[in-house]
Amino acid sequence: KEKEDKEKEDKDIEAKKLEESVNNLRQSIEIELQNEIDCIKDIIVDGKIDFYLYAECKTEKCSKFNECSEKDFKELLNDIELFGPRMSPNASAVMGVVLKQIESILSGSDQRANLENLQNYNNTVLRRIKDKRPCHVFLHKVADFLTNSLSKKDQDCESTHRIINDKLSYWNEKIDSIKTALPDVAYGILADNKFSLLLYGYSSSIINCLEGAINKNDDLRNIEVYVCQAATKNELRYNNRLVYNDGLKYIHELRRLRMKKIYYITDVCPSHIFSEGKISKVLFGANGIEPDGSIHHTLGHLAIAEMAYMHGVWVFVVADSLKIGNIDASKLGGVRGNEWLTTDIDKEEILQSAEVNNYNPRGDKVSADLISAIVLEKGIIRPQDAEKYMDIS
């Protein structure tokens, strides 16, 4: 009976995840179609031609998928989660998709073909993600492990397949344990409901920790939470339609948790509210943590940390030990594309002139001396002690 219940629970979870992935695909298609409609709408209206004002996709259940088609479709859904026009996944979400894709590739019956497909995935998709995310430590750990393991696939295919599968199982189990342990540890800085928070740069780890804390102390729904725009990651489609914003992502999740006092603020507002004593604690996530305790995250984190430091406000970094590791400084310094620029059709030409350059660095490095503590699944630690807690398995 317990086995049957577990199998049913696993199937329900898988079905829910599939439904969410299909929804991402549907919304991505809708955005692409809506862009096509919007950019020619004025011309069509002037020509007095009938047209569709909105695009909406509908899905139907299909029972005609064979095993191969189902696998290909799931891999497509994974790619949409990484590269779709409405997706801007955080570090944890990226790794969830990557590990899910590796698991899917290794699930085929032909081990040699699986490894060939995995090598192709590592050389194309993972390389592309790595180039865009040079400070995502866990991502680089996974890619480096695959590169090293797959270099031996021709000598011993079966052993290579087993080693990668075992490592994948370890990572998945580790992530599951982190999801339980990290909120328990973080409760140590959240238990007292007499404080206010400032959040910058979306972190699913922080949301998980807040949810865990609220489950233990319902009064935490009453704390004041100030959410910065984090506009450096904005993505705009045709004529300034907003596709993604970190701050709004946070607010969506905070509303799900039924937080009662949420403030949405501009990115230049924190110093003002710090000076008025309205903030007790700042919570950051992290894409990567160096052994010396400095953290890497999206542009803006350094400015917030420096302002908080000047005003004596505590800065906590909520992350896990998988994100601690060495970061190649030579690969940092990249800039984002033009997704954040205005797409107002009357203003675009100003920014397209040769004299104007788009400069929006991807990330910041926040030194350990600006961080009060790092909250890991292994405990609350001094930033300078980060190397001791690095996952080296």
Query: Closest Cα partner for 374 from 362, 365, 382, 385?
Result: 382
Instruction: Determine the pLDDT at residue 85.
Output: 47
* Residue 21 reports pLDDT greater than 80: no
| pTM score, whole prediction | 0.83
Helix, coil or strand: residue 197:
strand
CA distances from 333 to 130, 135, 329, 336, 366 (A): 14, 10, 8, 10, 14
Residue with tokens 């049913």: 8
Residue with tokens 């997704």: 339
* Average pLDDT value over all residues in the chain: 87
Distance, CA of 5 to CA of 1 (rounded, Å): 6
Domain limits, CATH 3.40.50.10470, in the chain: 183-389
Q: For residues 114-126, give the mean pLDDT.
A: 92
Residues in CB range of 303: below 8 A, 6 or more apart = 267, 364
Distance, CA of 97 to CA of 378 (rounded, Å): 24
Distance, CA of 371 to CA of 294 (rounded, Å): 8
C-alpha triplet 138, 108, 106: angle, nearest 5° = 15
Q: In the numeric block, which tokens belong to residue 324?
A: 């601690």
325 against 342, higher pLDDT = 325
Instruction: Determine the pLDDT at residue 254.
Output: 98
Q: For residues 271-296, give the mean pLDDT.
A: 97
Distance, CA of 48 to CA of 326 (rounded, Å): 61
E strands, the chain, in order: 196-199, 224-228, 235-237, 241-244, 261-265, 281-284, 288-289, 295-298, 314-318, 363-366, 373-376, 379-381
Distance, CA of 294 to CA of 369 (rounded, Å): 8
Instruction: Determine the pLDDT at residue 11.
Output: 74
Q: What is the pLDDT of residues 191-224, one digit of tens each?
A: 988 899 999 999 999 999 999 999 999 999 999 9
Q: For residues 100-111, give the mean pLDDT.
A: 89
CATH for 183-389? 3.40.50.10470
Residue with tokens 């926040």: 366
Q: For residues 174-200, give the mean pLDDT.
A: 95
Instruction: Determine the pLDDT at residue 65.
Output: 64
Query: Closest Cα partner for 75 from 67, 87, 63, 85?
Result: 67
Highest mean pLDDT among 253-262, 327-336, 343-352: 253-262
Distance, CA of 66 to CA of 53 (rounded, Å): 37
Q: pLDDT band at residue 41, thresholds of 50, 70 and 90?
A: confident
